[in-house]
């Protein structure tokens, strides 16, 4: 019997080899998962977790789409008060294979649950991130249950953390960047004229954090539509440079970003997003601003200048790009 067992083992050397390879791969995967989890937890522990009531009970991904609302509030350095100065919905759609970054203009006239009708950015002032998400869901018919809140200081820090961004600016935009820098310098205790761009003609300009922030806040060129487009341009440049800088200086990056982030994403959800990242490389990246061209008009309601919009047309756009499966 003993000799028979020895003989059977000799007949299957390839099986033993496969088992060895499988065990090695398993150990590598376990190590990779453990490392990525430890890095995710390290970053998450620096953030501020804030529950958003019943919205936290909803799934992160619904009908194949993950929606996360990025909120930039207009409080100055360190605060969470004020109205939402920027609202960008980041959507990852398994249905269409797209990552859609959608700016929603703050002056859109919407119905705010429990508060009547007002500009969209008033929802944050009335009830914080939770009411803002509920308002977007109600008016645009799209589930939004997770958010990340950033302030001015964080935005500038992130741009600096990735080494700045290169963007093409007009001469007028350069002038307004310098104008907005005056306020930022005053708030941060820097001298008047600090970080000014001395290039007078339009062209490609390398922007540091405060300069990119000033560029993103310009609303006197192309009104609020131009402002949100500039915000998306900066975000797109950050996204392109982010992977290499995270690898090169992970600690420096998370220390610049995470302490000033507030979110209702759980650690488990953040880790899940990290694990999904390699599979999103082939997704088509798109950006848009709502309301779409030709779907809005200027109105004055209760002595307030607002944007009236065709909600059906804008809802259809989101549906087609996020929920309609590819043929």
Q: pLDDT band at residue 15, thresholds of 50, 70 and 90?
A: low
pLDDT of the residue at 29: 63
pLDDT of the residue at 12: 58
Q: pLDDT band at residue 264, thresholds of 50, 70 and 90?
A: very high
| Structural contact between residues 12 and 5, judged by C-beta atoms closer than 8 angstroms | no
Span 252-272, average pLDDT: 87
| Structural contact between residues 140 and 315, judged by C-beta atoms closer than 8 angstroms | yes
Instruction: Find the range with the poorest average confidence among 20-24, 61-65, 105-109.
Output: 20-24
Q: Which residues pair with 252 in a beta bridge?
A: none
Question: Which H or E run includes 86?
Answer: strand 84-93
Span 92-102, average pLDDT: 93
Q: Give CA–CA dist 37/30, Å, rounded.
A: 10
pLDDT of the residue at 52: 73
Residues 73, 80, 53: CA angle, nearest 5 degrees: 100
Place of tokens 């060895």: 20
Q: Give CA–CA dist 39/127, Å, rounded.
A: 33
Q: Tell me the per-residue pLDDT of 187-198, one tens digit each, with 9 for 90 and over.
A: 778 888 899 999
Say which residue, 52 or 65, is predicted with more confidence: 65
Q: pLDDT band at residue 307, thresholds of 50, 70 and 90?
A: very high
Residues 245, 99, 152: CA angle, nearest 5 degrees: 55
Q: Is the pLDDT of residue 139 over 70?
A: yes
Span 305-311, average pLDDT: 94
Say which residue, 161 or 137, is predicted with more confidence: 137
pLDDT of the residue at 8: 47
Q: pLDDT band at residue 110, thresholds of 50, 70 and 90?
A: very high
Identify the CA nearest to 292 among candidates 228, 249, 247.
228
Say which residue, 241 or 91, is predicted with more confidence: 91
Q: Is the pLDDT of residue 327 over 80?
A: no
Q: Give CA–CA dist 265/17, Å, rounded.
A: 43
Say which residue, 140 or 228, is predicted with more confidence: 140
Q: Which residues pair with 288 in a beta bridge?
A: 102
Q: Give CA–CA dist 122/113, Å, rounded.
A: 11
| Structural contact between residues 216 and 103, judged by C-beta atoms closer than 8 angstroms | no
DSSP class per residue in 128-197: HHHHHHHHHHHHH-----EEEEE-HHHHHHHHHHTT-EEEEE-HHHHHHHHHHHHHHHHHHTPPTTTT--
Place of tokens 């192309």: 222
Place of tokens 């979110």: 263
Q: Is the pLDDT of residue 114 over 90?
A: yes
pLDDT of the residue at 24: 65
Q: Residues with Cβ < 8 Å from 258, sequence gap 6 or more? A: 43, 44, 46, 47
DSSP class per residue in 22-71: HHHHHHHHHHHHHHHHHHHHHHHTTSEE---GGGGGS-SEETTEEEEEEE
Say which residue, 5 or 163, is predicted with more confidence: 163
DSSP code, position 272: H
Q: pLDDT band at residue 313, thresholds of 50, 70 and 90?
A: very high
Cis peptide before 291 (omega within 30 of 0): yes
The mean pLDDT of the chain is 84
Q: Tell me the per-residue pLDDT of 290-300, one tens digit each, with 9 for 90 and over.
A: 999 999 999 99
Instruction: Find the range with the poorest average confidence among 33-47, 225-239, 241-255, 271-285.
Output: 241-255
Q: Is the pLDDT of residue 141 over 50?
A: yes
Q: Residues with Cβ < 8 Å from 211, sequence gap 6 or more? A: 177, 181, 195, 197, 205
């Amino acid at each position: 019997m003993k000799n028979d067992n020895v003989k059977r083992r000799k007949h299957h050397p390839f099986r033993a080899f496969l088992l060895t390879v499988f065990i090695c791969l398993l150990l590598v995967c376990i190590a990779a998962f453990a490392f990525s989890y430890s890095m995710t937890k390290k970053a998450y522990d620096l953030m501020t977790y804030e529950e958003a009531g019943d919205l936290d009970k909803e799934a992160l991904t619904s009908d194949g789409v993950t929606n996360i609302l990025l909120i930039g509030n207009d409080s100055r350095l360190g605060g969470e008060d004020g109205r939402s100065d920027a609202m960008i919905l980041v959507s990852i759609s398994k249905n269409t294979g797209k990552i859609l970054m959608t700016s929603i203009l703050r002056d859109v006239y919407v119905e705010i649950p429990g508060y009547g009708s007002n500009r969209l950015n008033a929802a944050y002032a009335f009830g914080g991130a939770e009411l803002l998400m509920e308002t977007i869901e109600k008016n645009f018919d799209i589930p939004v249950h997770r958010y990340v809140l950033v302030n001015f200081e964080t935005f500038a820090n992130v741009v600096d953390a990735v080494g700045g961004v290169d963007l093409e600016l007009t001469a007028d935009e350069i002038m307004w960047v310098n104008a907005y820098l005056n306020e930022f310098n005053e708030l941060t205790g820097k001298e008047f004229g600090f970080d000014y761009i001395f290039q007078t003609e339009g062209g490609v300009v390398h922007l540091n954090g405060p300069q990119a922030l000033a560029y993103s806040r310009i609303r006197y060129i192309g009104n609020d539509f131009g402002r949100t487009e500039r915000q998306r341009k900066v975000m797109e440049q950050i996204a392109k440079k982010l992977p290499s800088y995270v690898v090169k200086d992970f600690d420096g990056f998370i220390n610049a970003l995470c302490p000033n982030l507030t979110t209702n994403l759980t650690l488990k959800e953040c880790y899940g997003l990290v694990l999904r990242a390699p599979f999103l490389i082939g997704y088509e990246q798109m950006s848009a601003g709502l309301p779409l061209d030709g779907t809005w008009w200027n109105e004055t309601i209760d002595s307030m200048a607002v944007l009236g919009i065709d909600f059906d047309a804008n809802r259809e756009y989101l549906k087609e790009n996020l929920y309609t499966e590819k043929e």
